[in-house]
Amino acid sequence: MISKLVMATNNANKLREVREILSPLGIEVLSQREAGADCDPDENGLTFADNARIKAKAVYDIVHLPVIADDSGLCVDALDGAPGVHSARYAPKGEECAKLLREMKEVPESERAAAFRCTICYIDENGEALMEGACEGAIGFREAGENGFGYDPVFMVGDRTMAELSAEEKNKISHRGAALRELYRFLKERYGE
């Protein structure tokens, strides 16, 4: 088993989630800053996989340790998959939900399907691997809930928004959680115990 893994992020919430899921494997997960990788690569890919690969490769080229990077976003069927890879740049921070609700104003309930999607790229000296996760749902008609960020207050899972779920409930169904569980299985298969 590898002893260290670097995540191409300095986001404390992402790091916590990765550390929790990989902890049974005994892998120490470092942020890119902790590993000495001071870089901010331009995420100009056309897909989540492209952007995850760009970030992972940039950090790997500096630290030469196993690296993971993720890219994720919201894909809305009625908007032809938008905001997709542009989810973070779709609207000014804090205005994402308001813009999405305006664009979806005339869309009937039956056509509001959406999914959060996440791709994780793992790179080490043997090459790379991609893991994907998704959380299917729909876009609601108003914001609700206090527990989320980004699009969580308008993303419906059943009769509640993602922002109305507890952290534990969200982690069980989240797109990033699903991709991280794939990563866990991949690392366990590749390195055994």
Catalytic residues, by residue number, are 71
Angle at 79 between CA 76 and CA 80, to 5 degrees: 90
Contacts of 83-92 spanning 24+ positions with Cβ under 8 A: 85/43, 85/45, 85/46, 85/47, 85/48, 85/50, 85/51, 87/150, 87/151
Mapping DSSP to helix (H, G, I), strand (E, B) and coil, where does residue 113 land? strand
The CA-based diameter of the chain, rounded to the nearest angstrom, is 53
> What number of CA atoms fall less than 13 Å from residue 186's CA on the CB side?
17
Write the single-letter amino acid at 68: I
Give the span between the Cα atoms of 54 and 63, in whole angstroms: 15
b/e per residue 32-51 (b: at least 16 CB within 10 A): beebebeeeeebeeeebbbb
